[in-house]
């Protein structure tokens, strides 16, 4: 295929995929199946990989996110992105109307729009091509987040008209995506976003666009800042924005007077809970653009627009009880059981209490009359106690010392808010533990991916990681999509994993604060995993790089009856529990290596393991303590840092020579130090 034909096909695919993106994400009117779309995208990716010089600036493949940045550069807005003044009731709204009439002195219309609770940005297009996007910042200077904005599929990379234009919009996260992200963050033991606005802002300002791309951000465009075309009214400009490919502020309404404006605001307040995105009010704008110039602006806000803010709805109710939910990572979360009360359009009988510190800080007790509201209109929470209604019969709440699901000890480590279940067989967290147990860096059970684990877990065939080794052919063959060959392959992979070294098994147990490095340290200092049931804290603290938290985690984990039962079950099916105890050699003792790039003979983990078996340390970062950096193909920033610090850089051939060396002198000659 000649380059001319390739370029033609690439352009056809870009135009076609961008068209279908717009139909799907903006118009909610898909024209082709997901499979057909995927085939088009796959063809484009293949062509771009083969002919990188022909990649188009508006290619949809740019939406996956580029390289991570060290920081954002500043962007000065040619036309300031001003904030809005606020009104909170009907009287203040009528005052706004009266002042505007005094300034203008003639009849005019209003446009009423939703006040989307998100992050304001500007988008700049030249000749119809998206070239730059920036956050509002202080209204005058923002941050360049162009690459992150490209990941938002409702932002067109090329407009339907070759126009020079700067627009303003609101980036937001849907309620559904907000709940999904928070659930994901909870499972990953990350702090939760307080509301969709914080989630959107945090996602858009990620230094790595790939993270932004994973979060389904959206945008509504609500204003033209600059344009090579002229418009008479705001309504006209919004319709033009929609015509050229933007997703504009939805359900905007033209109102001829302030009475109709207030009526529309009340309508919005009634439906706000049913909207798929979060709003915190309505925006009222003068429709005639020429009259806006007469009205003018203050230093902070335009006089021709205002935001009507809805107050958060709060209700009083009785807190009947406090129950504990055990999450997938074993974190115990207290929840309030309430006398049912209707708030923000739904009946609420439960609310989050976050953690014990939150309960103590607000002095929340069982039996209290409390005030609740929906955080960001989504998650009910207890915000305060009505102390004037306290009778003296209320009961203080304390976190349980035993897991309410499995009975294992509950621990709270120093400097942590969370209380955690320590039981490895706890049903509440078993699914998560199984996924970790079978993962590549743990027991590495090939073919046992997330979908397989989910199927086995939901069918009740595995309830904790040890159950994996008790699976039988006759159980698996009955399952949908499990053929004889795939069942045999899976059982062979499970059997193979029984021979894994015990450092992998220790890591697979998912002990708090015990990662791969600590697992290897433990494994090299014991003869059998059963030694850990009687190991002392003093002995643990003598191990290299072992601190108080790590030692406490080991002691707590191995004193549980569940842990012994679990290990005994592994022993009975022949899982290796014995350590090699000693390093194969101390040939490389005192050497520290950093690996970077892609090696031909080994994966990076395999190379690390071989070096560590000879007594070397490996590290993820280059420092003055690094003996040498081993660089494969496509080595990146670590290689640059090594060169800047004067650290020795070795290739894969030299690595092979080191691994086969017979003496330390031979190693020193290879490294040339």
* Catalytically active residues, by annotation: 115
Cα gap 82→103, rounded to integer Å: 20
C-alpha distances in Å from residue 663, one per residue of 71, 79, 205, 659: 46, 70, 51, 10
Cα gap 17→6, rounded to integer Å: 16
Angle at 446 between CA 442 and CA 447, to 5 degrees: 130
User: Please, where are the H alpha helices in 80-195?
Assistant: 90-104, 146-149, 175-187
305: tokens are 């627009």
Cα gap 495→477, rounded to integer Å: 17
Q: Tell me which residue of 115, 124, 119 sits closest to 79, measured CA to CA.
A: 124
C-alpha distances in Å from residue 609, one per residue of 544, 567, 583: 17, 25, 11
Residue whose entry in the numeric block shows the structure tokens 């504009």? 248
Residue whose entry in the numeric block shows the structure tokens 């954002």? 72
C-alpha distances in Å from residue 473, one per residue of 464, 485, 541, 595, 645: 19, 11, 45, 41, 57
444: tokens are 């590495």
328: tokens are 């997938």
Beta bridge partners of 593: 618, 628
* Consecutive H or E run containing 285: strand 279-286
Beta bridge partners of 143: 74
* Residues in contact with 198: Cβ distance below 8 Å, sequence separation at least 6, in sequence order: none
* Consecutive H or E run containing 120: strand 119-126
What distance lies between CA 517 and its chain's CA centroid? 26
Cα gap 567→577, rounded to integer Å: 8
The values of phi and psi at residue 130, to 5°, are: -70, 120
> Do you know the residue count of the chain?
673
User: Please, where are the H alpha helices in 363-483?
Assistant: 430-438, 450-458, 473-476
Cα gap 174→340, rounded to integer Å: 27
Mapping DSSP to helix (H, G, I), strand (E, B) and coil, where does residue 545 land? coil
98: tokens are 């009266």
- Are 357 and 417 in contact by the 8 Å Cβ rule? The answer is yes
Mapping DSSP to helix (H, G, I), strand (E, B) and coil, where does residue 132 land? strand
Helix axes of 664-671 and 652-659: crossing angle, nearest 10 degrees = 170
- Are 490 and 447 in contact by the 8 Å Cβ rule? The answer is yes
Q: Tell me which residue of 366, 554, 640, 328 sits closest to 457, measured CA to CA.
A: 328
Exposed/middle/buried for residue 515 (C-beta within 10 Å: 0-12, 13-18, 19+): exposed
- Are 402 and 410 in contact by the 8 Å Cβ rule? The answer is yes
Q: Tell me which residue of 294, 278, 267, 254 sits closest to 106, measured CA to CA.
A: 294
- Ramachandran area for residue 46 (φ above 0: left; ψ -120 to 50: alpha; else beta): alpha
- Write the DSSP string, 176-187: HHHHHHHHHHHH
Residue 540: count other Cβ atoms within 10 Å of its Cβ.
Answer: 22
Cα gap 151→63, rounded to integer Å: 4
């Amino acid at each position: 295929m000649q380059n001319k034909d390739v370029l033609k096909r690439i352009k056809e695919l870009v135009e076609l995929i961008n068209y279908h993106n717009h139909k799907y994400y903006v118009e909610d009117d898909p024209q082709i199946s997901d499979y057909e779309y995927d085939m088009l995208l796959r063809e484009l990716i293949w062509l771009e990989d083969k002919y990188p010089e022909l990649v188009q600036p508006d290619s949809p493949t740019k939406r996956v996110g580029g390289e991570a940045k060290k920081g954002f550069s500043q962007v000065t807005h040619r036309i300031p992105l001003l904030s809005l003044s606020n009104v909170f009731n009907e009287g203040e709204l009528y005052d706004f109307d009266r002042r505007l009439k005094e300034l203008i002195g003639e009849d005019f219309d209003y446009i009423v729009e939703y006040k989307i609770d998100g992050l304001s940005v500007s988008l700049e297009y030249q000749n119809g091509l998206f070239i730059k996007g920036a956050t509002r910042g202080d209204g005058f200077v923002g941050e360049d987040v162009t690459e992150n904005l490209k990941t938002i599929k409702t932002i067109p990379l090329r407009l339907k008209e070759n126009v020079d234009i700067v627009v303003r919009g609101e980036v937001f996260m849907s309620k559904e995506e907000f709940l999904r992200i928070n659930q994901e963050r909870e499972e990953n033991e990350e702090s939760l976003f307080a509301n969709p606005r914080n989630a959107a802002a945090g996602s858009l300002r990620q230094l790595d666009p790939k993270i932004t791309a994973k979060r389904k951000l959206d945008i509504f465009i609500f204003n033209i800042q600059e344009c090579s075309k002229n418009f008479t009214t705001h309504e006209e400009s919004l319709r033009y924005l929609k015509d050229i490919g933007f997703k504009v502020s939805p359900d905007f309404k033209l109102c001829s007077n302030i009475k109709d404006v207030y009526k529309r605001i009340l309508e919005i307040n009634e439906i706000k809970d049913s909207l798929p995105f979060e709003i915190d009010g309505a925006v009222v704008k003068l429709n005639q653009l020429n009259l806006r110039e007469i009205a003018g602006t203050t230093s902070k806000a335009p006089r021709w627009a205002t935001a009507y803010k809805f107050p958060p709805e709060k209700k009083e109710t009785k807190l009947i009880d406090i129950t504990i939910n055990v999450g997938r990572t074993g974190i115990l979360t207290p929840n309030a059981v309430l006398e049912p009360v209707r708030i923000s359009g739904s009946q609420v009988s439960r609310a989050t209490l976050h953690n014990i510190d939150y309960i103590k800080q607000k002095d929340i007790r069982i039996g209290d009359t409390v005030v609740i509201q929906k955080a960001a209109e989504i998650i009910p929470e207890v915000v305060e106690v009505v102390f004037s209604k306290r009778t003296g019969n209320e009961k203080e709440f304390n976190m349980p010392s035993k897991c309410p699901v499995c009975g294992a000890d509950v621990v709270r480590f120093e400097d942590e808010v969370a209380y955690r279940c320590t039981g490895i067989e706890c049903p509440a967290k078993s699914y998560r533990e199984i996924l970790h147990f079978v993962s590549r860096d743990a027991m590495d059970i090939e073919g046992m991916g997330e979908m397989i684990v989910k199927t086995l877990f939901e069918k009740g065939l595995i309830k904790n990681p040890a159950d994996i080794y008790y699976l039988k052919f006759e159980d698996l063959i009955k399952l949908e999509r499990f053929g004889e060959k795939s069942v045999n392959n899976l059982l062979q992979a499970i059997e193979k994993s029984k021979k894994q070294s015990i450092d992998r098994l220790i890591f697979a147990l998912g002990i708090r604060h015990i990662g791969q490095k600590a697992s290897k340290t433990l494994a090299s200092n014991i003869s059998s995993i059963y030694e850990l049931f009687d190991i002392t804290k003093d002995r643990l603290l003598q191990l290299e790089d072992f601190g108080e938290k790590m030692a406490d985690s080991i002691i707590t984990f191995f004193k549980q009856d569940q842990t012994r039962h679990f290990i005994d079950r592994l022993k009975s099916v022949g899982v290796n529990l014995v350590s090699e105890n000693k390093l194969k050699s101390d040939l490389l003792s005192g050497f520290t290596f950093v690996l970077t790039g892609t090696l031909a003979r080994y994966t990076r983990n395999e190379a690390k393991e071989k070096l560590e078996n000879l007594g070397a340390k490996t590290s993820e970062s280059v420092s003055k303590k690094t003996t040498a950096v081993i660089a494969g193909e496509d080595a990146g920033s670590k290689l640059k840092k090594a060169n800047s610090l004067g650290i020795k850089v070795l290739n894969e051939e030299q690595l092979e020579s080191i691994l086969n060396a017979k003496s330390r002198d031979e190693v020193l000659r290879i490294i040339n130090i």
